[in-house]
A = this chain, B = another copy of it.
């Protein structure tokens, strides 16, 4: 059991960690740290946290386990302050959707002062955001990718894995660079494409939107995702995103060529192959 768990950022992810950790009896005391008093007080009223503070250093000091539950660029911005304020025996992790730059920053800080850090990416977002939609069961069955490096202590990896598993998460590990390529492919590019699909219709053929049915709505659901969070993700992972965009454009051009040439058999063979790949996912 963790003595004091400090959560920096009590939004959808941080708030859900607080609720899930409480439900699982994972920590004796949970501290909520944030800038928004109203949000912190809502978490306090729900008993998701035991105390709250807007003072980052005061909240982190003395905690046994610190989770950075803010968006990616904010994690990078706050990491050095958390590192300085934290106690020697602390275990640190985060929820950032990109990992290479966060893990590099942590390793630079660890060179000065060795602290137990392993990056985490709980793949349990939503197009909704904020503490209001936080849920104790958000991580039940969700994949959580840990990104240890050859400098990570096995004990730290085990502690962070156990933390997520206690909340229902299914833990995998990838090195930080592989992680960033993987999530560019299966999350960041789909988000970018969903934003573009929505905007293409909204800008050039808005009268079509009233006929949108389930296909359009499912395909573009994630275009309602939080613009602040996704601005940070797209910028933080732009290189892997660009490589994936190239692959996407190549494939789209193949399909388009078959359509333009009226090659029904070739087109159908491509769609058969793609359908099989998609169905293998279920």
> Which A residues are within 8 Å of any B CB, using their own CB?
123-125, 142-143, 145, 172, 181-183, 185-187, 189-205, 207-209, 211-213, 215-228, 230-232, 234-235, 238, 241-242, 244-245, 247-248, 250-252, 255-256, 259-260, 262, 264, 267-268, 270-275, 277-281
Contacts and interface: CB of A to CB of B under 8 A. Distances in A.
A234 B274 CA distance: 15
B142 A198 contact: no
A263 to B, nearest CB: 9
28 contacts: A125-B215, A143-B213, A181-B205, A182-B205, A182-B211, A185-B201, A186-B213, A190-B215, A190-B220, A192-B255, A195-B270, A199-B270, A199-B274, A200-B244, A200-B248, A200-B251, A205-B244, A209-B281, A216-B281, A218-B222, A220-B281, A223-B277, A224-B275, A227-B271, A227-B275, A232-B264, A235-B264, A235-B267
A124 B211 CA distance: 11
Given A217-B281, A218-B222, A271-B231, A211 B186 contact: yes
Please indicate which of the listed interface residues A187, A195, A241 has the most CB atoms of chain B within 10 Å of its own CB: A195
Given A193-B252, A201-B185, A211-B145, A259 B234 contact: yes
Please indicate which of the listed interface residues A193, A195, A219, A273 has the most CB atoms of chain B within 10 Å of its own CB: A219
Contacts of A259: 234-235, 238, 241
Contacts of A172: 211
